[in-house]
Structure 1
Amino acid sequence: MTASLSFVSPPPGLAPLTDFRLREIAGAAGLFALQSAEDEHTRLFVLDASIYLPQYTPVISDEHARSLDLATPDQALVLVVTNPGETGTTVNLMAPIVVNASTGRCAQIILDGQDWPLRAELNPQSSADATSPTDAPLRHEVEPAGATV
């Protein structure tokens, strides 16, 4: 699967880039390469939070939901940026990429005041038991205006 994504504003650290291609990595459902359409050397790896982090429930503002034309949470695809390392992989839960799955319009949203970590260890076993942002690194939902996505 390959999709075109257009950020409403450049992702932090990637200005002025706004147009990207999302390409699923073969053999790894829910793992994607997010590559700039303008600069082929700019690429991030992202995970579909609904697959890897089923307990992850970030809340976005009504303003963010409107800017992405999201009327309901089920219209959103929530992606988290991964950082593979020698001792394991971490994911950025503080700033998910929220995508309108129908239009490809998206934004990387910094979740101020929600206590999600910037570098959470990716550990599928602990995610099943997560009940809050502080007792486990993994949780998912996207809703408008104080909406959980």
Structure 2
Amino acid sequence: MSITLTFAVPPFGLAPAPSFSLTPVDGADGLFTLVGDGARLFLLDAAVHLPAYAPELSDEQADVLGLTDPADAMLLVVANPGASGTTVNLLAPVVVNARTAVGAQLILEGQDLPLRAELAAA
């Protein structure tokens, strides 16, 4: 089942579109595609694949998403599959307010997180 998300600013690499579709990939727990205007990104649910990943959002970032309760935040990371393995972007996660379906790709300032972290095989 797909979820329609609204982004005030489209995620990096996707063209502006009125809405984006977040769809689970069948048979791959915590893996999603985010599609908007002909482009697609792969996203991983950090709670499933990176349980120790706990970035901090600024008050301004939480306000943009209308987040008042951390439990409402769905934390996703962009996955980049490659010939030698998959990397994930930990510096700029996609955060979705699960209550309102409003999302944003946020750059985490002041946090020492990599743009391309190797994803360990499960």
User: TM-score, structure 1 length as denominator?
Assistant: 0.77
Deviation, structure 1 residue 13 = 3.5
Q: 1:24 is matched by which residue type in structure 2?
A: P
Which ranges of structure 2 fall in alignment gaps of 5 or more residues? none
Distance 1:13 1:28, change over 3 A: closer
Deviation, structure 1 residue 102 = 1.3
Q: 1:4 is matched by which residue type in structure 2?
A: T
**Residue 7 (structure 1) aligns with:** 7
Name segments (4+ residues, structure 1) moved above 6 Å: none
Secondary structure in 2 aligned to 1:59?
Answer: coil
Deviation per residue, 1:18-63 (Å, 9 max, x gap): 5200000001111001001xx2x20000000000000001111111
Distance 1:119 1:15, change over 3 A: same
Q: Which has the larger radius of gyration?
A: 1
Deviation, structure 1 residue 81 = 0.3
Paired residues, number: 122
Higher relative contact order (CA 8 A, sep 6+): 1
Range moving further from structure 2, 3-12 or 51-60: 3-12
User: TM-score, structure 2 length as denominator?
Assistant: 0.94
CA RMSD of superposed structures (Å): 1.3
Q: 2:119 is matched by which residue type in structure 1?
A: L
Secondary structure in 1 aligned to 2:90?
Answer: coil
**Residue 107 (structure 1) aligns with:** 104
Deviation per residue, 1:72-98 (Å, 9 max, x gap): 111000000000001100000010000
Q: 1:104 is matched by which residue type in structure 2?
A: A
Distance 1:124 1:60, change over 3 A: farther
Q: 2:67 is matched by which residue type in structure 1?
A: L
